[in-house]
Structure 1
């Protein structure tokens, strides 16, 4: 597991929450949004839990494409070893300047998503239960300047009390 050194975790959490997330499932490209239910995805999936995890750019530190592809290969091997159903997905900035491939996992609970994120050096993952809004789980400590309810759809699991 990597120790994350995030320069501004609050800005990073805001960027992750505002990002556009997409998944290809059942031949459709579906939109996911932090804070909103994933009704279209859930209509195509019988899973009780879903998650979005990437291995690209650990700690949001840009890496060369070959390093990211190798990291993604390790993540895929780990997901497959867990027997989880996965669907190609990605996250991108609303202005399109940044895009990262990842995976939406079916029946991966929050704990599994957090563990995979930590194992691959990520600063955050998405995870939610069927019928509930998509939730951002930040894997870094809550910044001191962050209000306790930064957003009801963001959890700071990097804190010792919540880890």
Structure 2
């Protein structure tokens, strides 16, 4: 497992919260936004719970395309072995200058999500239940409340207790 060192969790959570996320399904690009429901996606692809995760750029540090693609292939192999339904998705900064591929997962258990995120060095994922707003799930220690902007805090869950073990269904 990787040891994740986050210099400024508040800043990182804010960057994740304002990023744009999307999935392409049946020829349509469906946006995902932290703090907003995703009714179009949920109508197209029914599930009880959704997760966006990526294996790219662990610890929010740029890695080569080869390293990122290798990590992504390892994540896909684990998702396939666990029988997790997935769709290709992506995240990008608000200016569209940075884009990172990822996966939208259906009905994956919280513990499994946390294990996978930790294994691939991810500080946060998107996670929400059907009919509810998209939430940011930060897998690092929560900063002082005064450091987290209200628009981020309202839709962010902080989970610092790592669970170890293999990813299984």
TM-score of the pair, normalised by structure 1 = 0.92
CA shift for structure 1 position 148: 9.7
Would you identify which runs of 4 or more consecutive aligned residues in structure 1 move more than 6 Å?
none
Displacement of 1:146 in angstroms is 3.1
The offset of 1:106, in angstroms, is 1.2
Equivalents in 2 of 1:35, 1:113: separation in Å? Answer: 20
- Unpaired runs of at least 5, structure 2: 164-169
Q: Structure 1 residues 147 and 88, CA, compared in 2 at 3 Å: closer, same or farther?
A: closer
In the comparison of the two structures, how many residue pairs are matched? Answer: 161
Residue 55, structure 1, aligned to residue 58, structure 2: no
Asked if structure 2 preserves the Cα contact closer than 8 Å seen for 1:55 and 1:120, the reply is yes
Give me the whole-angstrom Cα distance separating, in 2, the residues matched to 1:135 and 1:81: 26
Q: Tell me which residue corresponds to 1:157.
A: 159
Alignment partner, residue 41 of structure 1: 41
Q: Offset at 1:147?
A: 5.0
RMSD: 1.8
CA distance, structure 1, for counterparts of residue 35 and residue 149 of structure 2: 16
Q: Which sections of structure 1, spanning at least 5 residues, go unmatched? A: none
Alignment partners' CA distance in 2, 1:105 and 1:46: 11
- Where does residue 86 of structure 1 map in the other structure? 86
